[in-house]
Structure 1
Amino acid sequence: MADSYGESPLASRAELLAHAGAPGAVHLAEVPFLAQVALRVDPKSAAAERVGTALGAMLPTQPGEVAEAGNVSVLWLGPDEWLLVGPRGSAEEIQETLTEALADEHAAVVDVSAHRTILDVAGPLARELLNKGCALDLHPRSFEAGRCAQTMLARAGVILVCRDAETPRFWVFVRASFAEYLADWLADAADEYRTRHTRTAIDDVEPRQPEPAR
């Protein structure tokens, strides 16, 4: 079957991201074409309970909570709003599952896969990099794995998800129209880590000059 996805929003920034940051410090990459389906439904309704049963995990009800339902992540975005994120090509299947569970109840299911792309920000200095443009406290005690937040990063509206707190890894969901801007900002903000890493590597290799005799 032919690939119907075309070019990802950050295809033109692939090389930039690949060379941004520094090994062992920060890694940047695009995670393109994941399925993203928006759901609006009354969380207290029977329909919401049926959705949870169909997915294999109840819809999260606490702010910033992320539930895992097999290979689908369910992000809490509001009291009656969620974003379901699944593997590439699974949007139709997710929609069908939701629609069947909702039956004729008042709800909304929309494929928004084309609205946003995802930037993967990982490495020991990932939090430091993100906090250059984001006011959230990203320390694990405040923003642990399995948490999400709608916030601003470098003045761009994003959804931030902590994928791993111990070996820091974050997913940044950004609208396609802002993706190149944000990729450029992250690459520029990470430039100091490449410089720092290079300087450290040189210092490790260069022999220390002996002190002059006194």
Structure 2
Amino acid sequence: MVERNAVLERRRSPLQRLSAELVAGSGTQVSLREIPFLAQIGLRAEPGSPSAVALEWALTGALPGGVGDVTELSEDRHVLWLGPDEFLLIAPDEAAGGPDPARLTAELSTALGGLPGQVVELSANRTTLELRGPRAQEVLDKSCRLDLDLVSFPAGSALVTVLGTVNVILWRVEPDNWRILPRASFAVHTARWLLDGMREFV
């Protein structure tokens, strides 16, 4: 366990070198920070199939039922709808008391057994940016073609979209609290794009 903790302590997030810029570019109207190292497990199963039932049993909760849906398994574990048979399980960082992503992936794969479907550990694939504050939606409106009005995109919804020129998962956790998940290789570009859009509000 000591060795595992030492490994976790040596991790470097995609936006670690921008931490000072994120703080300097944030204010009371809108703020931006990275939430690194969240466990992210990709799930593939046809809704209503034995594969989906097996995953839901292992997750102790239902998979999202439609476009934009997010299932809350617990206070800190959620499953996002990405496509008709594609979902993303998100859980806290292992170092903060969350699950070991490799172990969780193995447990879900075992539950799936030989049934059609897929369980893939994707934690290093994306990082998570949190954009929050009363002006957060206005910042996103500059770069996202989705209708982000609260009626059209309510809290508890998530969609795959394009922010500027980057494909991201956009998740509205609360009315003024958004999580943006870009690929790790586009994280710096996405963060600086958002910081530029925040300038008039800070």
Judge same fold: TM > 0.5, yes or no: yes
Alpha-carbon distance in structure 2 between the residues aligned to 1:28 and 1:192: 14
Displacement of 1:146: 1.1
Alpha-carbon distance in structure 2 between the residues aligned to 1:52 and 1:172: 25
Q: Deviations over 1:87-118 (max 9, x none)?
A: 11221243133112211112111111111101
2:171 aligned residue (161, 165, 168): 161
* Amino acid of the structure 2 residue aligned with 1:52: E
Displacement of 1:185: 1.0
Alpha-carbon distance in structure 2 between the residues aligned to 1:95 and 1:124: 37
1:38 aligned residue (35, 42, 50): 42
Alpha-carbon distance in structure 2 between the residues aligned to 1:40 and 1:7: 29
* Amino acid of the structure 2 residue aligned with 1:28: L
Q: Which residue does the alignment assign to 2:124?
A: 114
How many residues end up aligned between the 2 structures? 191
- SS of alignment partner, residue 92 of structure 1: helix
Alpha-carbon distance in structure 1 between the residues aligned to 2:155 and 2:107: 26
Q: Which residue does the alignment assign to 2:51?
A: 47
1:74 lines up with 2:79 in the alignment = yes
Q: Deviations over 1:161-180 (max 9, x none)?
A: 00001xx0000000011110
* Amino acid of the structure 1 residue aligned with 2:152: S
* Amino acid of the structure 2 residue aligned with 1:7: R
- SS of alignment partner, residue 192 of structure 2: helix
TM-score by length of 2: 0.90
Superposed counterparts of 1:73-92, under 5 Å: 73-89=78-94, 90=99, 91-92=101-102
Q: Which residue does the alignment assign to 2:161?
A: 151
For structure 2, which runs of at least 5 residues remain unmatched after alignment? Answer: none
* Amino acid of the structure 2 residue aligned with 1:120: E
Tell which structure's C-alpha radius of gyration is larger.
1
1:179 lines up with 2:183 in the alignment = no
Q: Deviations over 1:111-151 (max 9, x none)?
A: 11111101100000000001110011111111111100100
- Taking only the aligned residue pairs, the percentage that are identical comes to 39
- SS of alignment partner, residue 71 of structure 2: strand
Q: Is the 8 A contact 1:35 1:85 kept in 2?
A: yes
Q: Which residue does the alignment assign to 2:138?
A: 128
* Amino acid of the structure 2 residue aligned with 1:156: V
- SS of alignment partner, residue 62 of structure 1: coil
Q: Is the 8 A contact 1:55 1:97 kept in 2?
A: no
Alpha-carbon distance in structure 1 between the residues aligned to 2:108 and 2:27: 42
Alpha-carbon distance in structure 2 between the residues aligned to 1:54 and 1:114: 23
Displacement of 1:183: 0.8
